[in-house]
Amino acid sequence: MDIEGFFPYRLAVIAEAFARQMALVYGRKYGLTREEWRLLFLLEDGEPADLLQIGHSSSLDKVQVSRAAARLADKGLISRQVSPNDRRLRVYAITAEGHALFTLAFEGVRARADEILLAMAPEDRAALDRGLAALDRAVSDTAHGPSPRPQTP
């Protein structure tokens, strides 16, 4: 068994190399960590939301979201307001500055991602898409222990 041909190794190395290319853009060029980038993406994309909703749709746990949100709020990229309905909740929303920065960063990331994906033959792209979707299902379907990244103890 050669390590290069061992599927778990291959997947990890390829995904890492791709993620590194993206991080060069939002990280080195726009000063965002991966968690900040995801959080901004989520808030830009959807309605203002609270921490648990965000955790659910970002594959981050509540601690990660809380800390990324604190940093983003410090930079003025998002706002955090206590909910009037339930004062335990905070409602996160993207600010105008946040929107502006996200737009720039997103264009950069998308451009780099497209550059890579468009260097692939269309059939290969389709194969990748199909294979990843199937892998995603297979991991969920065969999960044993507790579900990953639980939000509540």
Partner DNA sequence: TATTGTTATACTCTATAACTATA
Partner DNA sequence: TATAGTTATAGAGTATAACAATA
Which residues are at the interface with DNA (CB under 7 A)?
16, 20, 33-35, 50-52, 60-67, 69-70, 80, 86-90, 149, 152-153
Interaction partner, residue 127 (a second copy, DNA, none; CB < 5-8 Å by kind):
a second copy
Q: Which is nearer to a second copy, 4 or 86 (CB)?
A: 4
Q: Which residues of 49-80 are buried (b: 16+ CB within 10 A; e: fewer)?
A: bbbebbbeebebebebbeebbeebbeeebbbb
- Shortest distance (Å) from residue 119 CB to DNA: 22
End-to-end CA distance of the chain: 40
Q: Which is nearer to DNA, 124 or 150 (CB)?
A: 150
- Shortest distance (Å) from residue 1 CB to DNA: 21
- Shortest distance (Å) from residue 150 CB to DNA: 8
Number of other residues whose CB lies within 10 A of the CB of residue 7: 8
Q: Which is nearer to a second copy, 12 or 82 (CB)?
A: 12
- CB-facing half-sphere around the CA of 150: CA atoms within 13 A: 5
Chain contacts with a second copy (rule: CB under 8 A):
1-4, 6-22, 24, 38, 41-42, 45, 57-59, 106, 109, 113, 115-117, 119-121, 124-132, 134-139, 141-143, 145, 148
In 3D space, the residue among 100, 43, 36 whose CA is nearest the CA of residue 70 turns out to be 36
φ, ψ of residue 150 in degrees (nearest 5): -70, 150
φ, ψ of residue 54 in degrees (nearest 5): -65, -45
78 has which bridge partners?
94
Q: Which is nearer to a second copy, 82 or 130 (CB)?
A: 130
- Shortest distance (Å) from residue 43 CB to DNA: 13
Interaction partner, residue 93 (DNA, a second copy, none; CB < 5-8 Å by kind):
none
